[in-house]
Amino acid sequence: MFSSVTERFHENFTQRGEVGAALSVWRHGVEILHLSGGTLTKDGGAPWTPETLVPVYSATKGPAALTLLLTLHEAHLPLDAPVRSLWPQLALPLTFGELLSHQAGLPALDHPPSVYDHPAVIRALEQQATAWTPGTAHGYHPRTFGFLLDECVRRLTGGIPLGQVWRDRIAAPLALDFWIGGLPESRYPEIARLYPGRPKPPHPDETGFFQTMADPASLTRRAFQSPAGLHAVAEMNQPPAWQAALPAFGGVGSARALGKFYAILANHGVWQDQQIIPEEILPALTTPLTSGHDLVLQLPTRFSAGFMMDPLAPDGTKVRSRFGPSLTAFGHPGAGGSHAFADPETGLAFAYVMNQMEPGVLPNEKSLSLLEAVLAALQEQS
């Protein structure tokens, strides 16, 4: 059934320079396909297995967003509640929904402290003038997003970091091999080494992003440099990055873990006949909160509460398709090529992770060719 998917997976290695990778596809709560190939390092090291872990950059944002949504639900705080009711020092006209959908106006810091200094980053966010009036526009918060969510979770839980809440409340009970900080040293040998993307012409969708990114004074460039540190791919291959609780881009996990996470969401929060994710949370995942021109990424984007969705044209058709044909599918890519999403309409979940990065912020041909083959195979089956 999935022979064409397997062929394209191998083509990622023979034609697209992949080093190691894994694909996990689920439907209605069951993993229907898993592929692993290549090695953890370029020098022919250990083979990539279903247990292999790898940093996934912004694919971390999905698990992080759900963690905040869960803690908000337990505190009986709706998405339209003001953030300052919980965090008065962040004295902005900002709701939790706007914060989760990149409308806060805080993607960049004028004086960015170290990414490892949570209190200093929080103080900087509290003192930072917004790039726009919150709620009037949106722009991707590539790094500050995690600190905004983390501080809310800490205030909701009496000081427990988001990464620990994720592990205690979601990851550990569901046996998800995915960490947002605190990765056990015993798992270090299973981590694949990331390799920087090789220079190549940008995809037409991302031309504006790369042009703006080249300007050191641009909001785009400043956003990707705030807070300071962990800018080099080599730094993401070191234990300090794996230990740090960085909910915007510091997650380390397997394809199967990300696939299972989204499989539960695609299955309406149900796992093994149990309602694991409260039903009241689910509409927040599929309801767009903002859409249009992204002031940071310089391309059209659409976000629900913490998750990316394909943007739509005025006639309701997709401007681009990275999450399959469904208009309500949601997920999040990671820099370099990792990609994961859920489609509750069909019960489909998809996750691809790898260690040879490619330039760009959107999913690239490696994952998209696999997704195309998966969708074609399922269509033929039906």
For 142-184, give the DSSP string.
TTHHHHHHHHHHHHHHTS--HHHHIIIIIITTTT--EESS---
The pTM (predicted TM-score) of the whole model is 0.97
Give the SS3 label for residue 333: strand
Please answer whether residues 197 and 190 qualify as being in contact, where contact means their C-beta atoms are separated by less than 8 angstroms: no
> Which pair of structure tokens corresponds to residue 190?
């299973």
For the chain, the domains span 3-381
> Which pair of structure tokens corresponds to residue 212?
């703006």
Per-residue pLDDT of the chain (382 residues; tens, 9 = 90+): 899 999 999 999 999 999 999 999 999 999 999 999 999 999 978 999 999 999 999 999 999 999 999 999 999 999 999 999 999 999 999 999 999 999 999 999 999 999 999 999 999 999 999 999 999 999 999 999 999 999 999 999 999 999 999 999 999 999 999 999 999 999 999 999 999 988 777 788 899 999 999 999 999 999 999 999 999 999 999 999 999 999 999 999 999 999 999 999 999 999 999 999 999 999 999 999 999 999 999 999 999 999 999 999 999 999 999 999 999 999 999 999 999 999 999 999 999 999 999 999 999 999 999 999 999 999 988 7
Distance CA 291, CA 79 (A): 17
CATH architecture of the domain with residue range 3-381: 3-Layer(aba) Sandwich (3.40)
Tokens 């990149």 — which residue?
102
Q: For the chain, how far is it from start to end, CA to CA, in angstroms?
A: 11
- Provide the residue count of the chain: 382
